[in-house]
Chains A and B, each alone.
Chain A
Amino acid sequence: MTDAPVVEVAVAEPSVPRPMFGAALQPTLAELSRPGRGGGKVAHPPADALDGVPASARRASPLALPELSEPEVVRHFVNLSHLNYSVDGGFYPLGSCTMKFNPKINEWAARLPGFAALHPLAPDELAQGTLELLYELQDALLAISGMSSVTLQPAAGAQGELTGILMIRAYHQARGDTARTEVIVPDTSHGTNPATASMAGFRTVTVPSAPDGGVDLDALRAVLGPQTAAVMLTNPSTLGLFERRIIELLDAVHGVGALAYMDGANMNAVLGRFRPGAAGFDVMHLNLHKTFSTPHGGGGPGAGPVACAAHLAAYLPSPLVVRDGDGGYRLERTGERPTSIGRVRAYQGNVGVLVRAYAYIRAHGASGLCEVSEDAVLAANYLRARIGEAYALPYGGPCKHEFVASDQPIRQATGVRTLDIAKRLIDYGFHPPTIYFPLIVDECLLIEPTETESVETIDTFAEAMLAIAREAHDHPELVTSAPTTAPVRRLDEATAARHPELRWRPMIGAETPCPT
């Protein structure tokens, strides 16, 4: 929060003047626009610039762009940025998202001109530094995953999943094993897993969890068969639990000739403790933007490298970064690995993210990465124990890097729902945790403190959660009417989804954006 005085904005009452500056909703650029106002002194194009464009291809009327001065534009965006809640500004326990602090040294590394200014089509001999970094990152990810080959191309976890499942499909097809049409997904997996299976042309079969939150092995065995192409396991799961029956599970999957995909989005919990390749998984992805700390609020960019065992290496996307006998680095040449499923992303993926992840891995080293996971698990278990005073904990402890709590007892006693609690946390200055996910727990909160928070921060958050639970009993209206301190109150999500207004239009009383 900022100390600047917050001026209440009444959007419904246009007679109340809106503040021009500060941490409140600002007029839009279109509303601030004044005819003829401009920014930099860029030369106007010559009057005959459009003469070569046929009249039929020209706009009938000028583009209605807002007209503003440079300081107006800068203030507009700087003031908007003050409305942001970010991990640089406060605690962000958004479960499943691993909103850890992103060390600033990563930013320094990614901005080095040798990386940042390299043309993506530069020939290999001019890109040796970047290629060496990518090669070493491949090596580091292989050590961490216990796999034998890896591609850095996929732009995020979901694209990594699709890459991995397409590789599995190519593997079965290459063996003439074409009757495998199903992918099995436990109900504690990430929602992207069934979507991936569908996109790759498979039918998704969901298996329920056992009461302890792990996969129900009997239910899994009942649906495994010669029609099974793969099982996708999120481990640790979206409940923040490590799959305890992993050996039996993998034996059952491999026993019917299917392959095992591990969604490694939650590797932050097990770095240096668990190598999926060594356990027997065939292919997996890692979310570099989560586990290895690159900024990812707002949807990206991310990186979802896919690592696989030797029997799938032939199908990895191309080109990989390889090292020749003379010590030089290069990209695989076209046709060098003809069984590859092909490219899944232009160039080498989001290289800026890859540089940040490399910087993070090198800054921590092997022992530091082990400590990351230990501290992430410790923080989650500590917070879980504190919140358990007032919230239900549907699964027995201990948890991994995140945990599920439920508002169910509070709701039954007071009618206050999880959504209300999340909104009230905003008044306490926190980003709310993930709510109503995973779907298998009623009124749930998925809370992930990460390893980068101090015990004081975690305590303050726990006390806010407990205070809100007391408020729910004593002053429920405080909770059900929250947030009261944010620039906007509860947004009408239903109308926004049913009747989306995706384009700004001048409203009655507003300045028209541009002269005709």
Chain B
Amino acid sequence: MDVPEGLRYTEDHEWVRTEAGEGVVGITAYAAEELGDIVFVDLPKVGTKLQAGTPFGAIESVKTASDLYAPMSGEVVAVNASLTEKPELVNSDPYGEGWMVRVRMDDAGALTALEDAVAYRVRVEAA
């Protein structure tokens, strides 16, 4: 199972990567695998305020539709527009081209409350 080091992971299988003080958010390879072929990703507009733990969008696969939960609070500064035409990027490259939103975080320190790669890997491998 691909669980890159240096990222933080949520209960609901989102990841956060800190880049230039901002948080980039996507869903993990495990989540993408479990959902199956992704057919639609509904993302917020730039400027939307996110609140940690509450839904910021939705993802739909051939199997099911799920909410996307904000790993942290902050303001959306960019969204991955490629996912509109190519939602399959979430399956093929969940930690790269399949990223979803970039967030100006209210408190970057809050990320330390999330799981690191070791803890997340232990959890999904036990599932």
- Residues of chain A having any CB pair with chain B under 8 Å: 419, 436-437, 439, 442, 493-494, 497-498
Closest residue of chain A to B39 (Cβ to Cβ) is: A497
B64 contacts the other chain (Cβ, under 8 Å)? yes
Complex: how many Å from CA A439 to CA B34? 11
Asked whether, in the complex, the Cβ of A498 is within 8 Å of the Cβ of B39, the reply is yes
B75 contacts the other chain (Cβ, under 8 Å)? no
Interface size class of B (residues with CB under 8 A): 10 to 19
Complex: how many Å from CA A498 to CA B39? 5
Asked whether, in the complex, the Cβ of B62 is within 8 Å of the Cβ of A494, the reply is yes
A436 and B127 in contact (CB under 8 A), knowing A494-B88, A497-B39, A498-B87?
no
Instruction: Give B88-99 as 1s and 0s: 1 = Cβ < 8 Å from A's Cβ atoms.
Output: 100000000000
A436 and B88 in contact (CB under 8 A), knowing A493-B37, A494-B37?
no
Complex: how many Å from CA A124 to CA B127? 62
Contacting residues, chain B, for A498 (C-beta < 8 A): 39-40, 87-88
Contacting residues, chain B, for A419 (C-beta < 8 A): 36, 63
Instruction: Give B62-83 as 1s and 0s: 1 = Cβ < 8 Å from A's Cβ atoms.
Output: 1110100000000000000000
Of the candidates B36, B38, B39, B40, the one having the most CB atoms from chain A within 10 angstroms of its own CB is: B39
Asked whether, in the complex, the Cβ of A442 is within 8 Å of the Cβ of B88, the reply is no
Asked whether, in the complex, the Cβ of B64 is within 8 Å of the Cβ of A494, the reply is no
Contacting residues, chain A, for B38 (C-beta < 8 A): 494
Contacting residues, chain B, for A437 (C-beta < 8 A): 64
Contacting residues, chain A, for B127 (C-beta < 8 A): 442
Asked whether, in the complex, the Cβ of B64 is within 8 Å of the Cβ of A436, the reply is yes
Chain A proximity of B125: nearest CB distance (Å): 11
Chain B proximity of A188: nearest CB distance (Å): 15
Prevailing SS type, chain B contact patch: loop
Chain A proximity of B111: nearest CB distance (Å): 25
Contact residue among B34, B62, B64, B66 (Cβ-Cβ distance under 8 Å from A497): B62
Complex: how many Å from CA A498 to CA B40? 7
Complex: how many Å from CA A498 to CA B90? 13
Sample of 26 A–B contacts (CB below 8 Å): A419-B36, A419-B63, A436-B63, A436-B64, A437-B64, A439-B64, A439-B66, A442-B34, A442-B127, A493-B37, A493-B62, A494-B36, A494-B37, A494-B38, A494-B39, A494-B62, A494-B88, A497-B37, A497-B39, A497-B40, A497-B60, A497-B62, A498-B39, A498-B40, A498-B87, A498-B88
Contacting residues, chain A, for B66 (C-beta < 8 A): 439
Contacting residues, chain B, for A494 (C-beta < 8 A): 36-39, 62, 88
Chain B proximity of A331: nearest CB distance (Å): 40
Chain B proximity of A192: nearest CB distance (Å): 13
Closest residue of chain A to B127 (Cβ to Cβ) is: A442
Contacting residues, chain A, for B36 (C-beta < 8 A): 419, 494
Closest residue of chain A to B91 (Cβ to Cβ) is: A494
Chain A proximity of B84: nearest CB distance (Å): 11
Chain B proximity of A424: nearest CB distance (Å): 18
Complex: how many Å from CA A432 to CA B88? 27
Contacting residues, chain B, for A439 (C-beta < 8 A): 64, 66
Complex: how many Å from CA A444 to CA B25? 29
Complex: how many Å from CA A28 to CA B34? 36
Chain A proximity of B106: nearest CB distance (Å): 23
Chain A proximity of B56: nearest CB distance (Å): 16
Chain B proximity of A501: nearest CB distance (Å): 14
